[in-house]
């Protein structure tokens, strides 16, 4: 694989703009090569009529020019100047090309100008990130002080009261005194790359202490007891952060009593939070190290290409400058990586380095061939079963419009078993297939969906796994449906005629058992993640709203018909009507009430999420978003009332309310969620940055979104489609809504990813468990 593809693949997606523009420099080199080629062609045409001796003389000159590049000539090709700007003590580099008199030198001048811009950009970004991690490491030091003090107080209260000095070993520190030194004497450098640190798997088995014992003893003698601190002094300056991330903490915070006494439970919670903080901090350091390594390698590769094309030996001179720059000489990140490993292993894995490194470096998920095989197998089975179902329905004429002509047993089967089994699982399977397609295109266009959703590395599902689950569920659903038809019509189960009706219930029970199964089978981590997000949606105002929570809630709004099918399912089997093979749910008043409620619940949950975010973030956007969902709730209520009661007045109200809701939702989809229709952007009526190279895709998506939103009006207008039954029309529109939601999901996450790219936000922010009162005083002084 070419280096350009490897370089692109290894990039942190949110930091793409901060990397060296390798492809841009290659384009300039192509211009230099084409000019050199055309120049040689012109020279060859002039000397083609000369004698063979002159031709050999010309070749010798060319060879002599290519191989006479010693140190003196190299020094005469470029001269790299270093200077500081705006008293910031930050070095900037500017290369002066010394061969301006030669023909075509403007291409090489532009090459070195762009090369300097990239070097300065990379150094600037690297410096900012190193400063950030050093500040974060200092905060982690204070968090570890508080954790160790809290451990002593909780686990050994007697010792804490008698011995108030906290003796903290230097290895407990994340930041040590020599971590800010820009270099190391024992470092084996080749073009700024630390060769001794590349094989991380080998180095991970060796624990080395950065601070020598002699150095520690000297510090302890000078400080009069090392890092001993007053335990009570630390605890008096610290309080537990009151994160309102659970129903109980939210209710306590609402009534002004969210402070919990220090206990083993609080200690365990603080340790879990700090484990997450250290893990995320370690991943950030690793990405920063990879960023430095890949950019240094890119500079080395591009200079070698320049030497080969331009026949000038300038690589050694320029790479010496790169090695002496911040990204080539700084060693802070490597030192911090070692300190984090030592601290984490000691305090969070009981000194077991193997277990500690498993937490810090989770294994990358590998693609398995059996997933691909079974996906293809299940998809083929699904297609065959669909054909069988269609032939069975056509042979028995179950889709006739005049149901009175069909025997009672078949009419009940058609209206109940067919509708419940097919629609409920059909909507879910379609949604999963759309989600699988989304994952495929997110990966294709490098949308970092795993970071956006907060999936744990190594446990996220790829598009193959989601496709496997959806096709497997489709096979189960179609098998049960065929068995239902076979038992009821062909095998004539007279002694036990309720058996066919129990088959759909058995299918639902099996799916729910798999979903809630605590065993580590069938993607347990993903099932737990889904159930947790679903719980957060149901208890919307009591949990902190994260992107997976409101993303799932948005998808639930597109599954209203599936939820209503589940309600019919519960009514049909809960009231025992399947035993009489009669469906009279719509005659029950309670069912009709819940028919209203079920249609409103997804929008109501989303409304509560917006209110929660409005109260926490004080952003008016969430208020307008809540208004949008309230208008949708009103439209759904009026439309449902029209569906049950009919009447011209209800129809007018339904049309007006639905029209207003559609306009508001369409505007929000395109302008807010997708970030499109920007008049003054680089791409007119789109946005400045686009991941899909074809602009027509965005315009087509906007048109399709409007059409599918308006298709919702069919449920109110009820156009007379003679070829389709009312239930079929409702099912088709519900499927179109699921397709629209899938399209919305792709562009919504694309916009979120581009926002992260613009802010270089590549890591999630994990709240610290402890808060120092000194920080409040510092903030007040700053204000």
Matching residue, tokens 């399912």: 569
Q: Given this model, what pLDDT does residue 175 score? A: 55
**Nearest-angstrom CA–CA distance, 702 and 528:** 35
Among 46-55, 180-189, 301-310, 741-750, the minimum mean pLDDT is found in 180-189
Between the CA of residue 729 and those of 87, 557, 722, 724, 725, what are the distances in Å? Answer: 71, 19, 11, 6, 6
Count CB-CB contacts under 10 A for residue 633. Answer: 20
Among the ranges given (52-56, 188-192, 749-753), the one the predictor scored with the smallest mean pLDDT: 188-192
What is the reported pLDDT for 200? 41
The alpha-carbon radius of gyration of the chain (Å, integer) is 34
Give the per-residue pLDDT at 439: 96
Q: How far apart are the C-alpha atoms of 692 and 720, rounded to whole Å?
A: 39
Q: Which residues pair with 193 in a beta bridge?
A: 190
Distance of CA 140 to the CA centre of its chain: 25
DSSP one-letter string for 287-348:
HHHHHHHHHHHHHHHHHHHHHHHH----HHHHHHHHHHSHHHH--HHHHHHHHHHHHHHHHH
Sequence-ordered list of residues with C-beta below 8 angstroms from that of 332, at least 6 positions apart, any chain: 130, 133, 134, 179, 180, 182
Q: What is the pLDDT of residue 498?
A: 65
Return d(Cα 37, Cα 45) in angstroms, integer: 12
- Collapsed DSSP state (helix, strand, coil) of residue 612: helix
Instruction: Give the chain's mean pLDDT.
Output: 77
What is the three-class DSSP state of 92? strand
Q: Give residues with Cβ within 8 angstroms of 342, minimum separation 6.
A: 171, 207, 209, 210
437-454 pLDDT, tens digit per residue, is: 999 999 999 999 998 998
pLDDT tens-digit map of 643-697? 777 777 888 888 899 899 999 999 999 999 999 998 888 998 999 999 999 999 9
pLDDT surpasses 70 at 780: no
Does the pLDDT at position 16 exceed 80?
yes
Q: Would the pLDDT of 517 be above 50?
A: yes
pLDDT of residue 541: 85
How do strand 193-194 and strand 91-97 relate by DSSP bridges?
A: unpaired
Q: What is the pLDDT of residues 253-292, one digit of tens each?
A: 655 555 555 567 778 888 888 888 898 899 999 999 999 9
Which range among 416-420, 513-517, 567-571 shows the weakest confidence by mean pLDDT?
416-420
Note the pLDDT of residue 614.
92
User: What's the per-residue H, E or C state across 645-675?
Assistant: HCCHHHHHHHHHHHHHHHHHHHHHHHHHHCC
Confidence band, pLDDT 50/70/90 cuts, at residue 43: low
Residues ≥6 apart with Cβ < 8 Å to 239 = 259, 770, 771, 773
How many Cβ atoms are within 10 Å of 725's Cβ, its own excluded? 14
Phi first, then psi, for residue 240 (nearest 5°) are: -75, 135
- pLDDT tens track for 167-201: 555 555 665 444 444 444 343 333 333 433 434 43
Q: Can you give the pLDDT at residue 391? A: 83
Q: Are the C-beta atoms of residues 673 and 747 closer than 8 Å to each other? A: yes
Cα-Cα-Cα-Cα dihedral sign, residues 368, 370, 371, 375: positive
Q: Name the residue among 259, 175, 248 with its Cα closest to residue 210.
A: 175
Is the pLDDT at 207 greater than 50? The verdict is no
pLDDT higher than threshold 90 for residue 610 = yes
Distance between CA atoms of residues 208 and 213, nearest Å: 12
Residues forming beta bridges with residue 79, ordered by sequence position:
96
Residues contacting residue 204 through CB under 8 Å, at least 6 positions apart: 341, 353, 357, 361
Beta-carbon contacts of residue 115 (< 8 Å; ≥ 6 apart)? 25, 95, 299, 302, 318
Q: Which residue has the tokens 């984090």?
A: 340
Give the containing element (helix H, strand E) for 158: helix 157-162
Helix (H) or strand (E) holding 78: strand 78-84
Residue 341 burial (10 A CB sphere; 0-12, 13-18, 19+): buried
Least trusted range by pLDDT, from 139-153, 255-269, 597-611: 255-269
199 vs 204: CA distance, rounded Å: 9
With bands split at pLDDT 50, 70 and 90, how would you rate the model's confidence at 248?
A: low
Give the rounded distance of the alpha carbon of 694 from its chain centre: 23
Taking CA atoms, 369 is separated from 56, 343, 376, 464, 497, in Å, by: 59, 39, 11, 10, 44
Crossing angle of helices 560-574 and 499-516, rounded to 10°: 120
């Amino acid at each position: 694989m070419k280096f350009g593809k490897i370089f692109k693949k290894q990039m942190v997606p949110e930091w793409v703009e901060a990397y060296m523009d390798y492809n841009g420099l290659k384009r300039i080199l192509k211009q230099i090569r084409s000019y050199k080629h055309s120049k040689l062609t012109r020279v060859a045409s002039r000397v083609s009529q000369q004698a063979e001796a002159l031709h050999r003389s010309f070749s010798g000159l060319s060879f002599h020019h290519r191989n006479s590049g010693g140190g003196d000539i190299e020094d005469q090709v470029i001269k790299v100047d270093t200077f500081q700007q705006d008293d910031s003590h930050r070095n900037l580099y500017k290369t002066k090309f010394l061969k301006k008199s030669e023909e075509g030198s403007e291409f090489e001048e532009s090459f070195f100008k762009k090369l300097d811009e990239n070097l300065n950009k990379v150094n600037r970004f690297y410096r900012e990130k190193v400063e950030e991690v050093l500040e974060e490491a200092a905060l982690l030091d204070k968090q570890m002080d508080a954790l160790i003090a809290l451990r002593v107080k909780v686990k050994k209260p007697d010792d804490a009261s008698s011995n108030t000095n906290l003796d903290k070993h230097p290895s407990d520190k994340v930041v040590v005194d020599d971590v800010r030194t820009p270099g190391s004497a024992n470092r084996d450098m080749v073009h700024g790359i630390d060769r001794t640190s590349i094989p991380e798997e080998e180095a991970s088995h060796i624990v080395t202490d950065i601070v020598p014992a002699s150095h520690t003893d000297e510090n302890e003698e000078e400080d009069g007891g090392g890092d001993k601190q007053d335990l009570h002094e630390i605890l008096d300056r610290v309080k537990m952060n009151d994160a309102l991330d659970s129903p109980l903490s939210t209710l306590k915070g609402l009534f002004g009593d969210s402070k919990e006494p220090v206990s083993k439970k609080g200690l365990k919670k603080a340790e879990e939070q700090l484990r997450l903080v250290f893990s995320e901090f370690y991943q950030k350091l690793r990405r920063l190290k990879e960023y430095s390594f890949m950019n240094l390698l890119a500079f080395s590769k591009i200079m070698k290409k320049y030497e080969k094309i331009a026949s000038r030996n300038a690589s050694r001179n320029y790479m010496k400058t790169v090695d002496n720059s911040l990204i080539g000489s700084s060693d802070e990140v490597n030192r911090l990586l070692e300190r984090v490993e030592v601290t984490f292993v000691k305090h969070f894995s009981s000194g077991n380095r193997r277990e500690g490194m498993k937490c810090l470096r989770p294994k990358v998920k590998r693609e398995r061939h059996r997933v691909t095989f079974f996906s293809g197998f299940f998809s083929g089975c699904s297609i065959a079963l669909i054909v069988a179902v269609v032939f069975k329905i056509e042979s028995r004429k179950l889709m006739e419009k005049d149901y009175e002509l069909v025997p009672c047993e078949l009419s009940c089967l058609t209206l109940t078993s067919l509708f419940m089994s097919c629609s409920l699982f059909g909507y879910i399977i379609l949604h999963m297939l759309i989600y699988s397609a989304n994952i495929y295109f997110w990966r294709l266009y490098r949308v970092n969906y795993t970071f956006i959703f907060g999936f744990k590395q190594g446990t996220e599902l790829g598009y193959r796994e989601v496709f496997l689950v959806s096709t497997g569920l489709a096979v189960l659903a179609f098998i049960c449906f065929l068995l239902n038809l076979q038992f009821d019509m062909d095998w004539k189960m007279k002694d036990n005629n309720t058996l066919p009706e129990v088959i759909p219930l058995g299918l639902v029970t099996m799916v729910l058992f798999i979903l809630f199964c605590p065993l580590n089978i069938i993607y347990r981590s993903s099932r737990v993640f889904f159930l947790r997000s679903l719980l957060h949606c149901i208890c919307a105002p009591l949990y902190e709203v994260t992107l997976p929570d409101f993303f799932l809630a948005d998808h639930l709004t597109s599954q209203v018909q599936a939820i209503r099918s589940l309600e019919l399912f519960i009514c049909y089997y809960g009231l025992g009507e399947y035993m009489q093979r009669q469906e009279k749910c719509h005659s029950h008043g309670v069912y009709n009430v819940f028919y209203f409620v079920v249609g409103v619940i997804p929008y109501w949950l989303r409304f509560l999420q917006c209110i929660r975010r409005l109260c926490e973030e004080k952003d008016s956007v969430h208020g307008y978003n809540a208004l949008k969902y309230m208008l949708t709730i009103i439209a759904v209520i009026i439309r449902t009332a029209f569906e049950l009661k009919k009447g011209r007045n209800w129809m007018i109200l339904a049309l007006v309310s639905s029209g207003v809701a559609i306009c508001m939702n369409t505007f929000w989809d395109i302008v807010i969620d997708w970030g499109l229709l920007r008049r003054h952007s680089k791409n007119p009526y789109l946005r400045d940055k686009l991941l899909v190279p074809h602009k027509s895709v965005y315009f087509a998506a906007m048109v399709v979104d409007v059409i599918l939103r308006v298709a919702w009006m069919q449920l109110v207008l009820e156009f007379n489609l003679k070829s389709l039954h009312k239930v079929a029309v409702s099912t088709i529109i519900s499927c179109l809504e699921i397709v629209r939601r899938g399209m919305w999901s792709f562009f919504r996450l694309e916009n979120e990813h581009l926002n992260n790219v613009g802010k270089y936000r590549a890591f999630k922010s994990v709240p610290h468990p402890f808060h120092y009162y000194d920080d409040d005083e510092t903030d007040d002084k700053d204000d």
